[in-house]
Chain A
């Protein structure tokens, strides 16, 4: 590679990184300016320094980590309940034409109902305990897992199905060597989607049912006490965790399908 190309390559690596920092940096500058010029009252928008201090405060002591752990465990717990059930149901619907025709329509009808509408129902049935919340999060993970698995299991390419017949595979062999591997990408997408939905449901539930410990509860606390710096800390934590979830799920998905990469 010529020298010019090397220099240009190096520059093209750093430029995007620097440029992506421009917007957040500008935002912080603007923020500081608003605070400094007293454009809004300090109780509405605390200075960046205040927020940073609050960050420090929370991370060092207090219940912050407990809240994070509580939210995470709820999300993962509900996911562990709802996602496998959705997976199994989706496989049933996809692999068995009869099951798809029998149970498919009512599942599709069930999906039309907005998720949070189940909260009042569940709280009446479970009486407001932790079980009810877990059930709600499990329900939120169930549908995405089912839908993606169903589609994946129902669309095994005809060439592979023919091969299975030519090699006279029995039902078990067909499942293990043809149906499941072929459906795997879709199944993983379903699990990824279920994880994200479980997280969203957790945050929403904590917010509205004012559950503590939990990040949602912290957010509410910030609103009740009018502590915007606490709210910003909680929101940032949510953003970071959300990012972590998506990246984790995407990476796991990539690793499992190594045979599709050259």
Chain B
């Protein structure tokens, strides 16, 4: 049973979120986590979903992964409804969620258990992806021996080893210290560009979204709704201090209702 899609570069199909809503039962009360979310993702695109905690962005990712099938609306992958998890979607959780009783390469290999590939091919893929995230020398290390940043990199390798069509990232860098976070953002940008995977990133860090994404979906909470969708028109390597970068970031912060210090005259510039 091979669930891989080897032709990632096929242009046509995509991910469609069609009027998705989600209701939760919390202590007897009905809570509307998501309402009328609609957008689509083109192949090879990097889309970020930004919002404060509790606006339902993680919930949305779980629906896309297929962990939860109880929602309103439709989620379509290549035109077909998402029924359950499959290897065409790889996920990186906020807690790296490495299995402590498997080594780094054991953890990456675990994602290949259902791939139907011969053992030699699996070994090659594991080695290749550990190299991709820069951890080829730590293949035999136990998670307890790795730092937070390294563990998360292993988790990224695990999510990519199946060459999935979609890479789902649920606040992947939220548990790391600020310096590691910046470094891993660079890494992530490089890796995703190299692999050409379509990526969906959920984050509360606006800078991170502007740095990584081609398009940013801003959610507002209670209930989670799309406030606006922003196209990121920054090319090449993105300079976090460039005026265009900061302008975009401030715009989004504005939408989220967060006051910011105006960067001299930039705020008023068009």
- Direct touch of chains A and B (CB < 8 A): yes
Report A's interface with B, CB cutoff 8 A: 159-160, 162-163, 165-170, 173, 177-178, 181-182, 184, 259-262
Do A168 and B114 form a contact, CB below 8 Å, given A160-B99, A177-B99, A181-B101? Answer: yes
B7 to chain A, nearest CB (A): 21
Is A165 a contact partner of B85 (Cβ separation < 8 A)?
A: yes
Contacts of B67 in A (CB 8 A): 162, 165-166
Do A261 and B85 form a contact, CB below 8 Å, given A167-B110, A167-B111, A167-B114? Answer: no
Contacts of A177 in B (CB 8 A): 99, 102, 110, 113
Binary per-residue interface labels of chain B (38-73) against chain A in the complex, 1 for a CB within 8 Å, 0 otherwise:
000000000000000000000000000101000000
Is B97 a contact partner of A259 (Cβ separation < 8 A)?
A: no
Selected A-B contacts with CB under 8 Å, 20 pairs? A159-B93, A159-B95, A160-B97, A160-B99, A163-B99, A166-B91, A167-B87, A167-B114, A168-B86, A169-B114, A170-B114, A173-B113, A173-B114, A177-B99, A177-B102, A177-B110, A184-B101, A259-B143, A259-B144, A260-B100
Report B's interface with A, CB cutoff 8 A: 3, 65, 67, 84-87, 91, 93, 95, 97, 99-102, 110-111, 113-114, 142-145
User: Apart from A177-B102, A184-B101, A259-B100, what 18 extra A-B contacts exist at CB < 8 Å?
Assistant: A159-B93, A160-B99, A163-B99, A165-B67, A165-B85, A166-B91, A167-B87, A168-B86, A168-B114, A170-B114, A181-B99, A181-B101, A259-B143, A259-B144, A260-B144, A261-B144, A262-B144, A262-B145
Is B101 a contact partner of A167 (Cβ separation < 8 A)?
A: no
Contacts of B143 in A (CB 8 A): 259
Contacts of A262 in B (CB 8 A): 144-145
Give Cα A41–Cα B145 distance, bound, in whole angstroms: 63
Give Cα A177–Cα B99 distance, bound, in whole angstroms: 8
Is A166 a contact partner of B85 (Cβ separation < 8 A)?
A: yes
| 7 nearest CB pairs, A to B | A181-B101, A259-B101, A259-B142, A262-B144, A166-B85, A168-B114, A163-B97
Contacts of A159 in B (CB 8 A): 93, 95, 97
Contacts of A178 in B (CB 8 A): 99
Do A168 and B97 form a contact, CB below 8 Å, given A173-B113, A177-B110, A262-B145? Answer: no
Is A167 a contact partner of B113 (Cβ separation < 8 A)?
A: yes
Is B65 a contact partner of A166 (Cβ separation < 8 A)?
A: yes
CB-based nearest B residue for A162 = B67
Contacts of B91 in A (CB 8 A): 166
Is B113 a contact partner of A169 (Cβ separation < 8 A)?
A: yes
Contacts of A261 in B (CB 8 A): 144
B233 to chain A, nearest CB (A): 34
Give Cα A162–Cα B97 distance, bound, in whole angstroms: 10
CB-based nearest A residue for B89 = A166
Is B144 a contact partner of A168 (Cβ separation < 8 A)?
A: no
Give Cα A21–Cα B199 distance, bound, in whole angstroms: 67
B87 to chain A, nearest CB (A): 7
Give Cα A35–Cα B122 distance, bound, in whole angstroms: 76
Contacts of A160 in B (CB 8 A): 97, 99
CB-based nearest B residue for A177 = B110
Contacts of B100 in A (CB 8 A): 259-260
Contacts of B102 in A (CB 8 A): 177
Contacts of B95 in A (CB 8 A): 159
Pick from B65, B84, B113, B142 the residue with the most CB of A within 10 Å. B113
CB-based nearest B residue for A172 = B113
B97 to chain A, nearest CB (A): 5
Contacts of A181 in B (CB 8 A): 99, 101
